[in-house]
Structure 1
Amino acid sequence: MEEGFPFHFAFSDVGVSSLSLIFFLLDVVLDLVAIECLYAEKKYFSLGLLILLLLGSSVVIQIFSWLWYSDPNKTAPETKVETFIKRHGLLGPVHICQLGVFLRYAAVMEISFCRFKQRDVFLKRDTIHMKHDLSMLRLFEAFSENAPQLILMTPLFMQMQEIQFLTVLKIISLSYSLLSYHHHVHAVNPEKLQMGWSSLVLYFLWNFFLIGARVIIVSLFASALPCYFAAHFLSLWTLLIFWAWWQKTDFMESKAGEWLYRATVGLIWYFIWFNVTSGRTRLKAIIYHVVMGSDTMLLLGLWWWWRSVESARLDPLPINPYLLIAVLVTIYITGILLRLLYYWKFHPNKPALQVDEKDLKSHVNLECDAKRYDVVEADSRAIS
């Protein structure tokens, strides 16, 4: 039975899951540090915007968590902590108090402990499903909270040394959220699809370079032309939402939930590519990178033009603007090249995988799970 079950847990899975929890707690600490720094510097307007971003992101994540708990097609067994919460009618209050993610972490810890004691193969499946949900929530949280926060905070790092350190850690957290989600998607596939350490490192690096360059360039443009940035973001975000609609995403049970999902996907796409459909996506990815690469370079060029025109009344930058432009362009191109290298040499695909009868029966049994806990659906929806 153990051999026929297609979930295999390697040391990398434990490491990725542990780091995911560490980055979740680190994000909370970094948010508190950012609030304290802004308050100490008496930047009350930026502080208010930061708190608004944190609250808005938390509300979005709690809505997703609550909708998933309320899914009538969910057939996966509940843990004792989840059963207790539901039995006493506390599911709503828990999410209103912004504790839905903590409830899911408690459920994962409980079922992981039970799996360790009982060594039950089906508990492994339940654990990976719960971790998959958590990794998706962390991904949504990272890009609805950390990415906008970086745009707000990055222009301040030139005056505040603490914010400079915070900016780097936030970009690392963004990149790791994508890695964690991608890893958990592969974890529900046969062993031949597992990501090795080289794949994990390369996947993290190309996301780190692309997200870092994009975030800094957008931040520079936003600090120079905030009104134009607002118009640019709303216009491009709307187009990206409709692109998700055009791809006929079918992830949530309700129409309202599906549009919330598309809006979140559009926000992620504003910074990095994230696949939401099955089938071949190479052409979509190429179109995305051509459009977003051009947009990124356009924003950088507009920022340089504005600096040139307004240089007489602006404070000098701590770094030569030409050097800054060269570094950012180099980082962005390096990210693209690392992505190409990853899919050329390190992507764990299976072009000619031989599936024996035992593996086939395992997949057939797994496809009988509910929609949100269907392994095939989860894989086809979101391999980025």
Structure 2
Amino acid sequence: MQQKGGSYTYFLRHDFAFISNGKAVLGFSETLPAPAMEESILFHLTLPDICFSFLSLILFLVDVALDLWAVVELYEDEKYFSMGFLIFLLLGSSVLTQIYSWIWYSEQNKSDPKTDVENFIRRHSLVGPVHIFQLGIVLRYAELIVNTVCGYNKDDSHKKEVTVYLQHDLSILRLFEAFSENVAQLVLMIALTVNMQDQQLFTVAKIIVSLSSLSLSLMTHHRHMRAFVLKKNKMGWSSSVFFFLWNLFLIGPRVVGVSLFVSALPCYFTAHFLSLWTLLIFWAWWQKTDFMESKAGEWLYRATVGLIWYFSWFNVTSGRTRLEAIIYHVVMGSDTMLLLGLWWWWRSVESARLGPLPINPYLLIAVLVTIYITGILLRLLYYWKFHPNKPALQTRLENPDLEPRAPIRRTACMDIEQTDTPEPSPTSTDIPQTQRPLTGIHKRMKIMAENFYY
């Protein structure tokens, strides 16, 4: 209740009476942000962000073309096992990303931001067929490009914010795809290269494109996380470079170590991967992740995190994770050295029938260890100099139904004459806050930002 010059204002939750200046107004209320919170935080859409969107699309299309080329080349070389394994990687990664995309479209609330492209496919019930035919990522790229082109030169804050939402989900999907497809392809291609006497063009091309896609996915993820940091704590390009370098220097030795082990003992690698992957999945469960809406979706996310952890560190909880990171790097560093040691032992045993390596094995192992240690040092430098320490994040969204706030009411009203002045009510003038859990893309954005910075 509020008192204004002898008249009183009454609010109920749905149907209510609003009495002011001798008139009663009946109607329905709509929850709005409190005046101090009406101004939503704008996410800025910059030219580099647009360039990254187009570059990511181009690399995605090039990667698809080279995937087909690689399958054909392996078939012509009669390497049917490698061809079958590559097809398994391609289909498995594509199905994984399509499942995530389909789940996120299915869980989307009415209040979630939508684009013209999404409205079109929903109106014609095309969400399912698009993902069944493995076109979910293409659809999201189409949404992003159309919304980016339409909103960049216009003073349309809504389109720019929706573009950031699209970039966020797409960056997560591309990150999942990078570790389920690109890194796995790197392992396969490097293993093939080690056993080849002459280097083939498609193998070299796939290694370069896979590295580029992985690098761009890491860089895009870092740059998108910058959108949540207040301007005074913005990270420059130097932080992106260091973030990219320490990830690459830690992933590179791991990928090479796994590749060499695969080239020597492929059957034992399967047992090694499944055992370690299972342990990493349960480690993600032990950290009580809460990224998806359903339990089945959450276990899918944990399995994906386990796959990422097999090659690189990925923070899945907020708060202090220094101990977890130390344990992870010690375990994975030791495991990589174990794989390299087994590979070197196998080459020593089979040296009579194996051709010479293009590089001295001792030098190769020393270089990999040096790169890994350099990556650890770069990571420490990044968190010391470039990573904001618990910054204020722009995670508040403009949708009033998705965050706690003290609501006010707007009325659809009808005037009725009121002759009696009502008595003051003893109720408090403060309206209690409402807390509604975040869901959909808003939840994913908030969790990713908090896990990245805290």
TM-score by length of 2: 0.77
Partner of 2:441: 372
1:82-113 CA-partner distances (Å, limit 9, x unpaired): 11111111111110000011111111122223
Q: Does the aligned pair in 2 maintain the 1:185–1:379 contact within 8 Å?
A: yes
Which of residues 98, 118, 121 in structure 2 aligns to 1:85?
Answer: 121
Tell me the matched-pair count: 379
- Residue 342, structure 1, aligned to residue 382, structure 2: yes
Change (3 A) 1:2 1:73: closer
Q: Does the aligned pair in 2 maintain the 1:7–1:190 contact within 8 Å?
A: no
Offset at residue 329 of structure 1 (A): 1.5
Partner of 2:137: 101
Aligned counterparts of 2:187 and 2:235: Cα–Cα separation in 1: 32
Offset at residue 116 of structure 1 (A): 2.8
Partner of 2:224: 184
Offset at residue 53 of structure 1 (A): 1.2
Offset at residue 193 of structure 1 (A): 4.0
Offset at residue 350 of structure 1 (A): 5.1
Greater fraction helix: 1
- Residue 239, structure 1, aligned to residue 279, structure 2: yes
**DSSP-derived class of the 1:128 partner:** helix
Change (3 A) 1:363 1:121: closer
Aligned counterparts of 1:287 and 1:258: Cα–Cα separation in 2: 24
1:279-323 CA-partner distances (Å, limit 9, x unpaired): 122221111111111111111111111111221222221222112
Partner of 1:71: 107
- Structure 1 letter corresponding to 2:442: Y
Aligned counterparts of 1:192 and 1:367: Cα–Cα separation in 2: 26
Aligned counterparts of 2:155 and 2:80: Cα–Cα separation in 1: 53
Which of residues 150, 162, 185 in structure 2 aligns to 1:114?
Answer: 150
Q: Does the aligned pair in 2 maintain the 1:193–1:348 contact within 8 Å?
A: yes
Which of residues 209, 213, 228 in structure 2 aligns to 1:169?
Answer: 209
Partner of 2:24: none
Q: Percent identity?
A: 64
Within 5 A, what are the aligned runs for 1:1-384?
5-73=41-109, 75-116=111-152, 118-158=154-194, 159=196, 160-162=199-201, 163-349=203-389, 368=403, 370-374=439-443, 375-382=445-452
1:156-196 CA-partner distances (Å, limit 9, x unpaired): 22422421342233123223212212221221332234331
- Structure 2 letter corresponding to 1:346: F
Q: Which runs of 5+ in 2 are unaligned?
A: 1-36, 404-437
TM-score by length of 1: 0.90
Change (3 A) 1:361 1:75: closer
Q: Which has the larger radius of gyration?
A: 2
Aligned-residue RMSD, C-alpha: 2.6
**More relative contact order in 1 or in 2 (CA 8 Å, sep 6+)?**
2
Offset at residue 128 of structure 1 (A): 0.4
Q: Does the aligned pair in 1 maintain the 2:187–2:256 contact within 8 Å?
A: yes
Q: Does the aligned pair in 2 maintain the 1:8–1:190 contact within 8 Å?
A: no
Change (3 A) 1:2 1:169: farther
Q: Does the aligned pair in 2 maintain the 1:76–1:126 contact within 8 Å?
A: no
Q: Which runs of 5+ in 1 are unaligned?
A: none
